[in-house]
Structure 1
Amino acid sequence: MHRLRRYLPILDWGRRYNRGAFMDDGLAALIVTVMLIPQSLAYAMLAGLPPEMGLYASMLPLVAYAVFGTSTTLSVGPVAVVSLMTASAVAQIADAGSVAYIEAAILLSLMSGGMLLVFGVLRLGFLASFLSHPVIAGFITASGVIIAISQVRHILGIKASGDNLLQLVTSLGGTVADSHLPTLVTGGATLLFLLWVRSGLKPLLLRLGLSDYWAGMLTRTGPVFAVIGTSVAAYYLDLGARGVSLVGHIPAGLPDFTMPVLVHPAWRELLVSALLISIIGFVESVSVGHTLAARRRQRIMPDQELIGLGASNMAAAFSGGYPVTGGFARSIVNFDAGAATPASGILTALGIGLSALFFTPYLAYLPNATLAATIIVAVLSLVDFSILKRTWDYGLSDFVAVAITIFVTLGLGVETGVACGVLASLALHLYKTSRPHMAVVGEVPGTEHYRNVDRHEVITRSDILSLRIDESLYFANASFVESRLYALLDEQPDARHVILMCTAVNEIDLSALEALESINRQLRDRNITLHLSEVKGPVMDVLRHTHFLEELSGKVFMSQHHAVKHVMAVEDEAHQNKPHNWVI
């Protein structure tokens, strides 16, 4: 039963569910539902899909995550970055809005869900660590810029296209003179209103006497007021007849549960895109989940999160949706609204389902410019170019990775950008670990501690080279360690003993072992003894299964201090027993 609860967390929190939790979840679901309806429509438009698909992707995936996910407050559904990646991937297969385009988007969700499920079963959640947070921040920043610029055409009422910043700006520049005034007024007014809501509505509500909680909740539902206001204006002013593009008819009802087209000619072309969407979606979701869980002193399990997100994407595919993940904005609202359990997601799905049944006819007059303004304001919070300065101040390698990700994403598109970000992260990791920090250490006077000779006043001896290696030893750095050791010995010709301090060495692979064996032989040929100190238990377990310890010219010591004192005693004894040539 315990093993089953591990894969079905609902069996754990469900048996403790009570009326109080239901009331908390119900209130949170009501607030999130109100926010999600315009957001889901907007992100579907961003993905180049019919607006109802945004609603479909916000129903069954929430239920699936509630069953399999481990976060109490994470809200799963369409998000800006994944919607942009979906549009970028599927646009290579078919024209936006076509049946083939819709089928490819659904297939992409199915493929992404399948990959995430496999990763979860194989417990590969640790792979997310290979994509550093600065790289993710850089990718999201660049994607936010592309998303915002791509929506300007809807605000201006013109046609423009492009997969990267240069293409978009060039396309917009060529058609900006054809801007449609009624659309510009509608979109511009909505954009200004939403920007004011973000910064000015909450202080106004606080001055009117509302509590901080309700003022914050009403501020987050600002897009709903924009949707209602512009839809009413479009109806009474007949903006559609004046050339303003409207959402139009949205089919009322729940999605059909159908089998996606499995034998699709585009699956090979979508394979890499599905993998990138899976990685980005998982990293974003886990980041949000960890942040919110920490606030309540809870925790999430990354491997199970893979299964939860995989099930959510599979559910989206079987209900006419497209790829989903945990969204930051909606999860924050869910958290602040007091969601107690994942049941809030089920209740939210119920609310969106009721909206799809009874309220979609009222969305027919919703201007596309309103949805574009909603997207622009939402993604502006994602844009954070300060990450460049922070990484520059902290370290060159992180700055290079972030800069590559941002500029490649802006210049070549989202898929190329995230691929380069992953490669840059891995390359920089390999570079840093292939050139580990190695410090010559000496005894801090009056203690048994050993520190870097370049940073501290320490005691050293010319016949002993004490060297601390601050990295695990593996194939990528074995040659560097060997070369560095010989270079230090050339600078210290009187050395008769080398003591490798292995405090930070957590692993020694076969290539590194062969390098140590070579070092041991060459030092022996030069009448230099090799010793090891402070070797960790797991590393010693591995070494004991080899012949290295038998062939080691010196010894292995529990501490650096004991090693140095032993060598000093050996050298002093050797000097005392050495015959003297008396010159008379």
Structure 2
Amino acid sequence: MLHWLKHYRRAMLAGDIGAGIVVAMMLIPQGMAYALVAGLPPVAGIYASILPPIVYALFGSSMTQSVGPMAIVSLMTGAVLAPLAPGGSGLYSVLAAQLALVCGIVLLVCGLLRLGFLANFFSRPVMSGFTVGCALAIAAGQVKPLLGASFPHWHAPSAMLGIGAVIALFAARRYLEPLLQRCGMPAHAAGVAAKLAPMLVVLGGLALASLLQLQEQGVKLAGDVPSGLPQLNLALSHAHWRALLQPGLLIGFVIFLMSMSAAQALAQKRNEKLVSNHELIGLGAANVAAMMSGGFPVTGSLSRSAVNFAAGAQTPLASIITAVLLAGALVAPTGWLALLPLPVLAATIIVAVLGMLELGTLKTAWRYDRGDAAAWIVTCGGVLVLGVEAGVVVGVLLSMGTLIWRASRPHIAVLGRIAGTEHFRNIDRYPAETQPDVLLLRVDANLFFGNVEAVGERIEEEVRSHPTAQHLVLVMTAVSSIDTSALFALGEWNASLKRRGIALHLAEVKGPVLDRLRESDLPAQLAGPIFLSTAMAAQKLHKGRDGEYAEYI
């Protein structure tokens, strides 16, 4: 906070105030809706939107991130707490806040230990599949509140109101912005105004509930919303720490991933720099604040942050203004919020999460890498079939498994010389010349315990395929590290090849790798020097017809 306050300018204030007002109008229905997804009273969503963004502004590195309730994190919260306590009970609310504390501690510890790089181990296809699976699960869970009862035994007034709200929201998303532009509104303002359609629909639902006495017709309403600010407390259930620890780790991981994806997308537009470890600390502190103010786990929302950005936010002051306005809404009489129809809230949730059904990643992965496409499908299916927590675990395991599988099967190319040049290329891709007595193999990966067996098998295969080879040169252009297991393997390969009359050589070894090799006995065991280039190795080792070593270049 000291950094952006130090550079704050009066010209930024108008944008921050405008964005703060717009996001506050967006957060009232959105926060209440996501609280319902988490199985909590609607007011908990507003509680979770006041103190957390203020605390995030102290430590976070994003200038336009909007921290608060988010659909996927709310779904995970509900999935964790449902088996532990009855929905709507005091224990349920305590556990929701305690889960936020666990997530906050996990994020803070990771930030202090500088573990922000761990986010890189969750691949984009897996993240996309997880997001789509969660969106479908959330939408399916809101069908009953939307219709007033389970399909097909819906409650007619509730269904009419809910389906009407869905149609209105979809129509606003598709047509409102161009309509406002045709009416003379600037494109930027029209885009921001269109994002406020959920608030307009909510106000329309409130008006209908009041005028038509919908509660008397069986339509469920939000009910009494307590006025006044949330009380700061540390209510905990010591019997549930163990039950909340593992889910807290998973949700904390998802909180960081979701927040970083949102913050990075916006930071790139302004050439701003994010510090992942500061983000971890900011999000951790925000979740601890959510716990103290009676909320539940929170994160950065891509859609809400985008609105904050588009509305002109310059610094985290916009989020602080949003929080102050929401606090003011709770201090003022809240009786009007009690009339909010639950089918309308369900409609806002369904339309919001269906906007997360982005299939472009799957299409690209299917064309580019079927393995990534399979990971997308398995992760999405895991969320829908096994549940959200299992879906996260499946996604992490798939990401790590894919990384390990690919690292254990490195690409190895047989090289030949491009005629008339000193360049050596893969003979399967280029019309390159080879020599019968010199076998050149380029290893396109680091050598470590996980892939030395595969590399050894490929060496044996190529040696059998080239029975006249007297020299084997491993071209190490792409090798940045060799671990101890790989060092021993190199020594074993050298000894095995030597017994068969084949000399092992190395070429184009990177400086740091060569420095470490010189600390071992391997260079002395090799048949010749470690060559500076592939061309020099080929020139030195190739024999002419007279049996003497000939010029290869």
TM-score, normalised relative to structure 1? 0.92
Distance apart, 1:141 and its partner CA:
0.4
Is 1:131 aligned to 2:105, yes or no?
Answer: no
1:19-34 equivalences under 5 Å are: 19-34=10-25
| SS in structure 1 at match of 2:547 | helix
Distance between the aligned counterparts of 1:327 and 1:214, measured in 2? 21
| SS in structure 1 at match of 2:433 | coil
Distance change (3 Å), C-alpha of 1:359 and 1:544: farther
User: After superposition, what is the alpha-carbon deviation per residue over 1:98-135, rounded to whole angstroms, capped at 9, x for unaligned?
Assistant: 11111111111000110011111111111111110110
Gaps of 5+ in 1: 1-9, 159-174, 578-584
Question: Equivalent of 1:361, from 335, 355, 375?
Answer: 335
Distance apart, 1:375 and its partner CA:
0.3
1:536-547 equivalences under 5 Å are: 536-547=510-521
Give the structure 2 partner of residue 250 of structure 1: 225
Q: Bigger shift: 263-272 or 194-203?
A: 263-272
Gaps of 5+ in 2: none
Counterpart residue type for residue 68 of structure 1: F
Distance apart, 1:573 and its partner CA:
10
Question: Equivalent of 2:547, from 575, 580, 583?
Answer: 575
| SS in structure 2 at match of 1:512 | helix
Question: Equivalent of 1:141, from 132, 136, 140?
Answer: 132
User: After superposition, what is the alpha-carbon deviation per residue over 1:415-465, rounded to whole angstroms, capped at 9, x for unaligned?
Assistant: 111211111111121111111110001111222211100110112111111
User: After superposition, what is the alpha-carbon deviation per residue over 1:289-311, rounded to whole angstroms, capped at 9, x for unaligned?
Assistant: 11111111112111211111111
Contact 1:530 1:555 in 2 (8 A): no
Distance between the aligned counterparts of 1:56 and 1:286, measured in 2? 23
Distance between the aligned counterparts of 2:313 and 2:273, measured in 1? 16
Is 1:487 aligned to 2:458, yes or no?
Answer: no
Give the structure 2 partner of residue 211 of structure 1: 186
Distance between the aligned counterparts of 1:550 and 1:345, measured in 2? 64
Question: Equivalent of 1:497, from 460, 471, 490?
Answer: 471
Is 1:98 aligned to 2:89, yes or no?
Answer: yes
Question: Equivalent of 2:177, from 202, 206, 219?
Answer: 202
1:251-266 equivalences under 5 Å are: 251-261=226-236, 264-266=238-240
1:160-175 equivalences under 5 Å are: 175=150
Q: Bigger shift: 451-460 or 265-274?
A: 265-274
TM-score, normalised relative to structure 2? 0.97
| SS in structure 2 at match of 1:58 | coil
Give the structure 2 partner of residue 164 of structure 1: none
Give the structure 2 partner of residue 4 of structure 1: none
Distance between the aligned counterparts of 2:411 and 2:207, measured in 1? 66
Contact 1:190 1:370 in 2 (8 A): yes
Distance apart, 1:387 and its partner CA:
3.5
Counterpart residue type for residue 358 of structure 1: A
Is 1:318 aligned to 2:318, yes or no?
Answer: no
1:230-379 equivalences under 5 Å are: 230-261=205-236, 264-379=238-353
Distance between the aligned counterparts of 2:423 and 2:114, measured in 1? 40
Contact 1:113 1:314 in 2 (8 A): yes
Counterpart residue type for residue 28 of structure 1: A
| SS in structure 2 at match of 1:557 | coil
Distance between the aligned counterparts of 1:341 and 1:111, measured in 2? 28
Q: Bigger shift: 526-535 or 146-155?
A: 526-535
Is 1:453 aligned to 2:427, yes or no?
Answer: yes
User: After superposition, what is the alpha-carbon deviation per residue over 1:180-237, rounded to whole angstroms, capped at 9, x for unaligned?
Assistant: 1111111111111111110011121111111111111111000111111111111121
Question: Equivalent of 1:441, from 409, 415, 420?
Answer: 415
Give the structure 1 partner of residue 533 of structure 2: 559
Distance change (3 Å), C-alpha of 1:531 and 1:192: same
1:493-532 equivalences under 5 Å are: 493-532=467-506
Percent of aligned positions with the same letter in both sequences?
A: 44
Give the structure 2 partner of residue 161 of structure 1: none
Distance between the aligned counterparts of 1:376 and 1:177, measured in 2? 18
Distance between the aligned counterparts of 2:305 and 2:181, measured in 1? 24
Distance change (3 Å), C-alpha of 1:260 and 1:567: farther
Distance between the aligned counterparts of 1:576 and 1:420, measured in 2? 60
Question: Equivalent of 1:14, from 1, 5, 20?
Answer: 5
| SS in structure 2 at match of 1:500 | strand
Counterpart residue type for residue 201 of structure 2: A
Distance between the aligned counterparts of 1:519 and 1:372, measured in 2? 65
User: After superposition, what is the alpha-carbon deviation per residue over 1:223-277, rounded to whole angstroms, capped at 9, x for unaligned?
Assistant: 111111111111121111111100011111111111141x521221222211111
Distance between the aligned counterparts of 1:259 and 1:541, measured in 2? 55
Distance apart, 1:505 and its partner CA:
1.0
Counterpart residue type for residue 502 of structure 1: M
Distance between the aligned counterparts of 1:360 and 1:450, measured in 2? 75
Counterpart residue type for residue 336 of structure 1: A
| SS in structure 1 at match of 2:528 | coil
Counterpart residue type for residue 481 of structure 1: V
Give the structure 1 partner of residue 73 of structure 2: 82
Distance apart, 1:392 and its partner CA:
1.4
Contact 1:142 1:409 in 2 (8 A): yes
Give the structure 1 partner of residue 112 of structure 2: 121
| SS in structure 2 at match of 1:440 | strand
User: After superposition, what is the alpha-carbon deviation per residue over 1:459-494, rounded to whole angstroms, capped at 9, x for unaligned?
Assistant: 211111100111111111011101110110001011
Give the structure 2 partner of residue 6 of structure 1: none
Instruction: Count residues with an aligned counterpart.
Output: 550
| SS in structure 1 at match of 2:16 | helix
Give the structure 1 partner of residue 53 of structure 2: 62
Distance apart, 1:35 and its partner CA:
0.7
Distance between the aligned counterparts of 1:36 and 1:429, measured in 2? 39
Give the structure 2 partner of residue 5 of structure 1: none
Counterpart residue type for residue 540 of structure 1: L
User: After superposition, what is the alpha-carbon deviation per residue over 1:505-537, rounded to whole angstroms, capped at 9, x for unaligned?
Assistant: 111111111111111111122221111111112
Question: Equivalent of 2:507, from 523, 533, 546?
Answer: 533
Question: Equivalent of 2:406, from 415, 420, 432?
Answer: 432
Counterpart residue type for residue 154 of structure 1: P
Distance between the aligned counterparts of 1:295 and 1:413, measured in 2? 35
Distance between the aligned counterparts of 2:548 and 2:437, measured in 1? 16
| SS in structure 2 at match of 1:454 | coil
Distance apart, 1:55 and its partner CA:
0.7
User: After superposition, what is the alpha-carbon deviation per residue over 1:365-423, rounded to whole angstroms, capped at 9, x for unaligned?
Assistant: 00011110000000011112443332211112101211110111111111111211111
| SS in structure 2 at match of 1:241 | helix
Question: Equivalent of 1:154, from 129, 132, 145?
Answer: 145
| SS in structure 1 at match of 2:105 | helix
| SS in structure 2 at match of 1:498 | strand
Distance between the aligned counterparts of 2:75 and 2:9, measured in 1? 40
